[in-house]
Chain A
Protein backbone atom coordinates (compact mmCIF):
# COMPACT_ATOMS: atom_id res chain seq x y z
CA UNK A 1 0.00 0.00 0.00
CA UNK A 2 1.14 3.53 -0.76
CA UNK A 3 0.93 5.86 2.24
CA UNK A 4 0.57 9.59 1.61
CA UNK A 5 1.83 12.08 4.19
CA UNK A 6 0.69 15.69 3.93
CA UNK A 7 2.39 18.66 5.54
CA UNK A 8 1.87 20.89 7.29
CA UNK A 9 -1.23 19.81 9.19
CA UNK A 10 -2.44 23.38 9.41
CA UNK A 11 -1.39 26.47 7.46
CA UNK A 12 -2.32 29.85 8.91
CA UNK A 13 -2.25 32.56 6.24
CA UNK A 14 -3.98 35.75 5.15
CA UNK A 15 -5.88 36.50 1.93
CA UNK A 16 -3.46 37.44 -0.84
CA UNK A 17 -0.66 35.27 0.54
CA UNK A 18 0.83 32.22 -1.14
CA UNK A 19 0.02 28.73 0.14
CA UNK A 20 2.31 25.76 -0.45
CA UNK A 21 1.04 22.31 0.54
CA UNK A 22 3.12 19.14 0.40
CA UNK A 23 2.16 15.51 -0.23
CA UNK A 24 4.82 12.83 0.05
CA UNK A 25 4.27 9.21 -1.00
CA UNK A 26 5.89 6.17 0.61
CA UNK A 27 6.70 4.86 -2.88
CA UNK A 28 6.59 6.22 -6.38
CA UNK A 29 3.10 7.09 -7.65
CA UNK A 30 2.34 5.22 -10.83
CA UNK A 31 1.95 7.45 -13.91
CA UNK A 32 1.87 10.48 -11.58
CA UNK A 33 -1.73 9.56 -10.80
CA UNK A 34 -1.90 12.09 -7.97
CA UNK A 35 -4.94 14.28 -7.34
CA UNK A 36 -5.75 17.17 -5.02
CA UNK A 37 -9.18 17.90 -3.55
CA UNK A 38 -10.64 20.81 -1.62
CA UNK A 39 -13.25 20.20 1.05
CA UNK A 40 -15.34 22.76 2.90
CA UNK A 41 -17.43 21.99 6.00
CA UNK A 42 -20.53 19.96 5.25
CA UNK A 43 -19.60 19.49 1.60
CA UNK A 44 -18.23 16.69 -0.52
CA UNK A 45 -14.65 17.07 -1.75
CA UNK A 46 -14.10 18.91 -5.02
CA UNK A 47 -11.46 17.83 -7.53
CA UNK A 48 -8.84 20.52 -8.15
CA UNK A 49 -5.86 18.79 -9.77
CA UNK A 50 -5.38 15.43 -11.50
CA UNK A 51 -2.30 13.84 -12.99
CA UNK A 52 -0.21 15.82 -10.47
CA UNK A 53 -0.40 19.06 -12.46
CA UNK A 54 -3.55 19.29 -14.62
CA UNK A 55 -6.36 21.52 -13.45
CA UNK A 56 -9.87 20.09 -13.39
CA UNK A 57 -12.66 21.94 -15.18
CA UNK A 58 -13.40 25.36 -13.75
CA UNK A 59 -10.41 25.54 -11.42
CA UNK A 60 -8.75 28.98 -11.49
CA UNK A 61 -5.14 29.29 -12.60
CA UNK A 62 -4.05 30.63 -9.20
CA UNK A 63 -4.25 26.95 -8.13
CA UNK A 64 -1.50 24.73 -9.49
CA UNK A 65 0.02 21.32 -8.86
CA UNK A 66 3.52 20.06 -9.41
CA UNK A 67 5.82 17.17 -8.62
CA UNK A 68 6.47 13.62 -9.64
CA UNK A 69 7.54 10.29 -8.21
CA UNK A 70 7.09 10.63 -4.46
CA UNK A 71 6.97 14.40 -3.87
CA UNK A 72 4.04 16.57 -4.88
CA UNK A 73 3.01 20.16 -4.18
CA UNK A 74 -0.20 22.13 -4.38
CA UNK A 75 0.31 25.88 -4.67
CA UNK A 76 -2.29 28.61 -4.35
CA UNK A 77 -0.54 31.74 -5.57
CA UNK A 78 -2.82 34.33 -3.97
CA UNK A 79 -5.33 33.13 -1.41
CA UNK A 80 -8.90 34.22 -1.92
CA UNK A 81 -11.46 34.02 0.93
CA UNK A 82 -13.05 30.95 -0.70
CA UNK A 83 -9.73 29.06 -0.62
CA UNK A 84 -9.75 28.62 3.15
CA UNK A 85 -10.62 24.93 3.46
CA UNK A 86 -9.10 21.49 3.94
CA UNK A 87 -7.04 19.98 1.12
CA UNK A 88 -6.43 16.29 0.51
CA UNK A 89 -4.11 14.52 -1.88
CA UNK A 90 -4.93 11.06 -3.28
CA UNK A 91 -3.00 8.60 -5.38
CA UNK A 92 -5.08 6.57 -7.83
CA UNK A 93 -2.36 4.66 -9.64
CA UNK A 94 -2.64 1.44 -7.67
CA UNK A 95 -5.25 0.02 -5.34
CA UNK A 96 -5.92 1.02 -2.61
CA UNK A 97 -6.35 4.63 -3.81
CA UNK A 98 -5.19 6.16 -0.56
CA UNK A 99 -5.73 9.72 0.66
CA UNK A 100 -3.37 11.86 2.65
CA UNK A 101 -4.56 12.99 6.08
CA UNK A 102 -5.27 16.54 4.90
CA UNK A 103 -3.96 20.08 5.33
CA UNK A 104 -6.21 22.78 6.76
CA UNK A 105 -5.66 26.25 5.33
CA UNK A 106 -7.01 28.75 7.83
CA UNK A 107 -7.03 32.50 8.23
Chain B
Protein backbone atom coordinates (compact mmCIF):
# COMPACT_ATOMS: atom_id res chain seq x y z
CA UNK B 1 0.00 0.00 0.00
CA UNK B 2 1.58 3.26 -1.15
CA UNK B 3 1.83 5.96 1.48
CA UNK B 4 3.13 9.50 1.27
CA UNK B 5 4.07 11.58 4.31
CA UNK B 6 5.06 15.24 4.32
CA UNK B 7 7.53 16.59 6.86
CA UNK B 8 9.14 19.93 7.59
CA UNK B 9 8.85 23.12 9.66
CA UNK B 10 5.36 24.36 10.34
CA UNK B 11 6.51 27.97 10.70
CA UNK B 12 8.75 29.89 8.32
CA UNK B 13 9.78 33.54 8.55
CA UNK B 14 9.09 35.94 5.68
CA UNK B 15 11.88 36.10 3.07
CA UNK B 16 13.25 32.73 4.18
CA UNK B 17 13.08 29.37 2.39
CA UNK B 18 10.29 26.84 2.89
CA UNK B 19 11.58 23.26 2.70
CA UNK B 20 9.41 20.16 2.82
CA UNK B 21 10.13 16.48 2.27
CA UNK B 22 7.77 13.75 1.15
CA UNK B 23 8.60 10.25 2.31
CA UNK B 24 7.37 7.55 -0.07
CA UNK B 25 6.71 4.04 1.20
CA UNK B 26 5.39 1.17 -0.87
CA UNK B 27 6.89 2.28 -4.17
CA UNK B 28 10.13 3.60 -5.64
CA UNK B 29 10.51 7.21 -6.70
CA UNK B 30 12.84 5.97 -9.45
CA UNK B 31 9.99 4.13 -11.16
CA UNK B 32 9.37 5.30 -14.72
CA UNK B 33 5.65 4.94 -14.12
CA UNK B 34 5.08 7.95 -11.90
CA UNK B 35 5.31 11.69 -11.51
CA UNK B 36 5.74 13.07 -7.98
CA UNK B 37 3.97 16.33 -7.32
CA UNK B 38 3.44 19.13 -4.81
CA UNK B 39 0.08 20.87 -4.46
CA UNK B 40 -0.91 23.53 -1.94
CA UNK B 41 -4.12 24.95 -0.53
CA UNK B 42 -4.23 28.35 1.22
CA UNK B 43 -6.65 28.55 4.14
CA UNK B 44 -10.25 28.49 2.92
CA UNK B 45 -9.20 28.46 -0.73
CA UNK B 46 -8.79 26.05 -3.62
CA UNK B 47 -6.00 23.76 -4.77
CA UNK B 48 -2.91 25.11 -6.52
CA UNK B 49 -0.56 22.78 -8.39
CA UNK B 50 3.04 23.80 -7.65
CA UNK B 51 4.98 21.37 -9.80
CA UNK B 52 6.20 17.83 -10.30
CA UNK B 53 9.31 15.76 -10.87
CA UNK B 54 9.80 12.64 -12.98
CA UNK B 55 12.10 9.68 -12.20
CA UNK B 56 14.78 11.23 -14.44
CA UNK B 57 14.86 14.37 -12.33
CA UNK B 58 13.08 16.45 -14.96
CA UNK B 59 10.78 18.90 -13.24
CA UNK B 60 7.86 21.09 -14.31
CA UNK B 61 6.68 24.12 -12.35
CA UNK B 62 3.78 26.53 -12.16
CA UNK B 63 5.04 29.53 -14.17
CA UNK B 64 4.13 32.06 -11.48
CA UNK B 65 6.30 30.18 -8.95
CA UNK B 66 9.05 28.99 -11.26
CA UNK B 67 11.64 31.53 -10.16
CA UNK B 68 11.29 30.48 -6.50
CA UNK B 69 10.61 26.73 -6.53
CA UNK B 70 12.69 23.59 -6.83
CA UNK B 71 11.38 20.02 -6.66
CA UNK B 72 13.94 17.25 -6.52
CA UNK B 73 14.39 13.54 -5.83
CA UNK B 74 16.53 11.92 -3.13
CA UNK B 75 16.91 8.35 -4.29
CA UNK B 76 18.99 7.35 -1.25
CA UNK B 77 16.04 7.94 1.07
CA UNK B 78 13.15 7.41 -1.40
CA UNK B 79 11.95 10.95 -0.76
CA UNK B 80 11.25 13.97 -2.90
CA UNK B 81 11.42 17.53 -1.73
CA UNK B 82 10.03 21.02 -2.22
CA UNK B 83 12.03 24.20 -1.79
CA UNK B 84 10.32 27.59 -2.06
CA UNK B 85 12.47 30.66 -1.58
CA UNK B 86 11.66 34.22 -0.49
CA UNK B 87 8.35 33.27 1.09
CA UNK B 88 5.63 35.73 2.07
CA UNK B 89 2.35 35.42 3.94
CA UNK B 90 0.74 34.45 0.62
CA UNK B 91 2.66 31.17 0.78
CA UNK B 92 0.84 30.13 3.95
CA UNK B 93 -1.01 26.94 3.05
CA UNK B 94 -1.47 23.23 3.53
CA UNK B 95 1.13 21.58 1.31
CA UNK B 96 0.35 18.15 -0.12
CA UNK B 97 2.69 15.74 -1.83
CA UNK B 98 1.11 13.34 -4.30
CA UNK B 99 1.71 10.68 -6.92
CA UNK B 100 0.49 10.76 -10.50
CA UNK B 101 0.90 7.61 -12.60
CA UNK B 102 1.83 8.26 -16.22
CA UNK B 103 -1.35 8.36 -18.28
CA UNK B 104 -3.51 8.53 -15.19
CA UNK B 105 -4.62 11.18 -12.70
CA UNK B 106 -3.14 12.04 -9.31
CA UNK B 107 -4.32 9.13 -7.23
CA UNK B 108 -2.41 9.08 -3.95
CA UNK B 109 -2.03 12.09 -1.66
CA UNK B 110 -0.21 12.70 1.58
CA UNK B 111 -2.19 13.93 4.56
CA UNK B 112 -0.87 17.45 4.10
CA UNK B 113 1.51 19.68 6.06
CA UNK B 114 0.42 23.07 7.34
CA UNK B 115 3.02 25.78 6.79
CA UNK B 116 2.56 29.28 8.17
CA UNK B 117 4.72 32.18 7.05
CA UNK B 118 5.00 34.66 9.89
CA UNK B 119 7.63 36.54 11.83
Contact = CB atoms under 8 A, between A and B. Distances in A.
Interface in A31-61: 33, 35, 37, 39, 44-47, 50-51, 56
B57 to A, nearest CB: 15
Interface of B: 37, 39, 46-49, 51-52, 60-63, 96, 100, 104-107, 109-112
A56 B107 contact: yes
Q: 9 shortest A-B CB distances, which residue pairs?
A: A35-B105, A50-B105, A44-B109, A95-B60, A99-B47, A102-B46, A96-B62, A101-B46, A97-B49
The winner among B48, B106, B112 for most chain A CB atoms within 10 A is B106
Contacts, number: 56
Given A44-B110, A50-B104, A96 B63 contact: yes
A28 B89 CA distance: 34
Contact of A92 (B48, B106, B109): B106
B53 to A, nearest CB: 12
Contacts of A47: 105-107
A2 B68 CA distance: 21
B48 A44 contact: no
A44 B96 contact: yes
A1 interface: yes
A90 interface: yes
Contact of A88 (B37, B46, B100, B107): B46
Nearest to A48: B105
B46 A100 contact: yes
Nearest to B104: A50
A98 B49 contact: yes
A35 B106 contact: yes
A99 B46 contact: yes
Contact of B52 (A35, A44, A51, A97): A97
Nearest to B50: A96
Interface in A77-96: 88, 90, 92, 95-96
Contacts of B46: 88, 99-102
